[in-house]
Amino acid sequence: MAKEDQVKNDEAVDVHIKTEKLKRARNARKRYHDMTDEEKRVFNKKKYEAYRIRRMEEDMILAMPIDRVNEETLDKAQQIINRNAKRAEAARRRYHGMAPDEKKLFNRNRYAPNRLRDEMESTKDDDALSALEREVDLRTQRAQEILLRKGADQKNSTPRLATPPPPQDSVVEEWEESKPSKLDEC
């Protein structure tokens, strides 16, 4: 009899705890939705910063060398590992409980941010590349215009030679012939 009363009492306590958590969650949602956009932004920023700091601390604990681990950090690491394992198992159960259409939608949404980010980066790269190409084309056109102007100015101001300059091979040969050899020095 006493065991049955204890079991009923434990179940009642569990139900009471669950209902209290639900009430708190409902009140927190209501408070959040009653906030202005600026308050939401500040709230989300604080929450994200706290999450990021906690995550960095957890990563540091898990990456800590074994020779520096004491009993306290070992307990924390074990808690982190257990919590991560619980979350992973719950996610697996949720996924396996989905219908095939839900799985497709889940996968599409799960990988959408990566795809979107990759597309954004490629369009940024394409935009940057096309802007760079446009700039190079513009500079090339300006340089050609300047050269054409200089060429026209030179045509008008300096007379052209009637005979073309000698080919480079003959100039090199002439230079080699005129160069003093080591035998001449002796």
Q: Is the pLDDT score of 180 beyond 60?
A: no
Answer yes or no: is 142 within a domain.
yes
Q: Answer yes or no: is 93 within a domain.
A: no
Domain assignment present for residue 140? The answer is yes
Query: What are the φ and ψ backbone dihedral angles of 159, each rounded to 5 degrees?
Result: -75, 145
Instruction: Match 């394409």 to its residue by tokens.
Output: 126
Q: Is residue 159 part of a domain?
A: no
- Whether 129 maps to a domain, the answer reads yes
User: Is residue 157 predicted with pLDDT exceeding 90?
Assistant: no
Mean pLDDT for the stretch of residues 9-32: 94
Q: 94 near 86, Cβ under 8 Å?
A: no
pLDDT beyond 60 at 138? yes
- Sign (positive or negative) of CA dihedral 26, 30, 33, 38: negative
* 37 confidence band (pLDDT: 50, 70, 90): very high
84 domain-assigned: no
Sign of CA dihedral 50, 54, 57, 59: negative
Question: Does the pLDDT value for residue 23 go beyond 80?
Answer: yes
Residue 158 pLDDT > 60: no
From residue 162, give the alpha-carbon distance in Å to each of 89, 112, 138, 159: 90, 71, 36, 9
- Rounded mean pLDDT, 138-158: 71
pLDDT tens digits, one per residue of 93-134 = 999 999 999 998 888 888 777 776 667 666 665 666 677 677
pLDDT computed for residue 95 by the predictor: 92
Looking at the structure of the chain, the number of domains it has is: 1
Q: Any residues with CB less than 8 A from the CB of 73 and at least 6 apart, and which? A: 61, 64
Q: Residue 123 — left, alpha, or beta (φ > 0 → left; ψ -120 to 50 → alpha)?
A: alpha
In a domain, 90, yes or no: no
Instruction: For residue range 54-101, list pLDDT tens digits in order.
Output: 999 999 998 988 888 899 999 999 999 999 999 999 999 999 999 999
Asked whether residue 35 is domain-assigned, the answer is no
**What is the pTM (predicted TM-score) of this model?**
0.46
Show the domain range for 130. Answer: 119-150
Give 33-79 as a 3 state SS string: HHCCHHHHHHHHHHHHHHHHHHHHHHHHHHHCCHHHCCHHHHHHHHH
pLDDT for the residue numbered 109: 83
pLDDT for position 47? 94
Task: Tell which phi-psi region holds residue 87, choosing left (phi > 0), alpha (psi between -120 and 50) or beta.
Answer: alpha
Smallest Cα–Cα separation from 43: which of 23, 58, 28? Answer: 28
